[in-house]
Structure 1
Amino acid sequence: MKLGRFGVWLVTGLSLFIGVGVAAASPAQVVHAKAKTTLKTFPKSMRGTWYSYQYNTMYKYKITATKFINNGFVERLHSRKTSYVVKHTMNSKHPSWFIAKNAKAKKQTWVTVWGWDQWGGDCAAYRVTTHKLDGHKVPVLQVAGGPATGYWTTGHGYHTKKLAKKYGNHYYKGERKHSLN
């Protein structure tokens, strides 16, 4: 088969076009690469003592760099490769271990918390937002749950017991509220 002058130019032009297109697209893939491990520490904005008041009960959460203390029960944050394959066993070797990942849902960034041996299903999710309460901008720990497709708010944490009691069963504009709340 004889290509002729036009055929040679066509093949050369297409080759250059495809080659330049692949080279131009490659850097964008590197920028959007996923993390290779889960979180090693909680974000600094989440750390501290938080109080939540729901249904006439005060709850206390203390978040450090690597611990989540929920009413005295200590859970420890551990990091692992995201490629780790979970082995399902009835008895967990690490019942107080968990992993955390950053996740985006509905244009919001959350820290999702999973059991060490958990491989799927619903998870707990946390993020710090700022709301104007009593004329002051106050950080609020939004507590949510559900599947990764979108979380529903189950409660809020505040740095003082007074705010927790005052805004205990309050939900903010734009939050998805579960039908059981």
Structure 2
Amino acid sequence: MIFMLKRTLLPLTSMVLVLGLTGLASQVETVDASTYGNGVQVTIPKKMQGTWYSYDRNAHNGTKITFTEHTVNGKPIFTQEAWTISDYFNGRIANQKNFDKVTQNWMSGKTTKMKNDTFYEIDPWITFENWSLYRVVPQTINGKKHNVLVYSSRYDGGNYFRSKKLAKKMKDYKFKKVNYTL
């Protein structure tokens, strides 16, 4: 009788355990990414995509920056809902730890018009007064046309070039008709 009870209880216990775990797994909350304030992925214009180099003394994002269709330096770029920053800094994010984990590698992006120029503003997801504005400006250097990625932080600015050699040669150069501070 005891042997029969053990043979019956083991499969029943296993079945209850499996059903219980399945029930728990189905209760795990899946959170829509837009919960973290992100809208659509930003599309970077083709002429801005690729790798750019700068040897400016205060290069805005280091000596190399790479844009793909939807990323900068491998980090996805999203539009950001207006409430995100204020809720973050005012402590109104329900699960701060989860928010930080999910968004740690996200960048916010938008198109910004300033002084009759269109810039792509790309910043860390949570930031305070950290502006990174980019636009491609055709320039003639030594009689040859080049696309130059101009950057501005609204306080200073500079250039990125398609080649390291040209970036080294043009270190800290400011083109006359380009407004670097906004």
TM-score bucket of the superposed structures, by smaller chain: 0.5 to 0.7
The code of the aligned residue for 1:130 comes to: P
Structure 1 runs (4+) greater than 4 angstroms displaced: none
Counterpart of 2:152? 144
SS at match of 2:132: strand
Cα gap change, 1:176/1:56 in structure 2, threshold over 3 Å: closer, same or farther?
A: closer
TM-score normalised by length of structure 2: 0.62
Q: What is the identity, as a one-letter code, of the residue corresponding to 1:160?
A: S
| Percentage of identical aligned residues | 27
- The two structures, once aligned, show a CA RMSD in angstroms of 2.7
Shift of 1:38: 5.8
Larger helix percent: 2
Q: 1:51 to 1:43 in 2, by over 3 A?
A: same
Distance apart, 1:62 and its partner CA? 1.3
| Number of equivalent positions | 131
Match of 2:172 among 148, 169, 173: 169
| TM-score normalised according to structure 1 size | 0.62
Shift of 1:174: 3.3
SS of match in other structure, 1:114: strand
Distance 2:84 2:64 in 1: 33
- The one-letter code matched in structure 2 to 1:63 is F
1:75 maps to what in 2? 75
Name structure 1 gaps, 5 residues minimum: 1-36, 147-151
What corresponds to 2:141 in structure 1? Answer: 133
> Larger Rg: 1 or 2?
2
Q: State the 1:65 CA deviation.
A: 0.9
Alignment of 1:154 with 2:162, yes or no, is no
Partners of 1:83 and 1:60 in 2: CA distance = 30
Identify if the C-alpha distance between structure 1 residues 66 and 134 changes in structure 2 by more than 3 Å, giving closer, same or farther: same
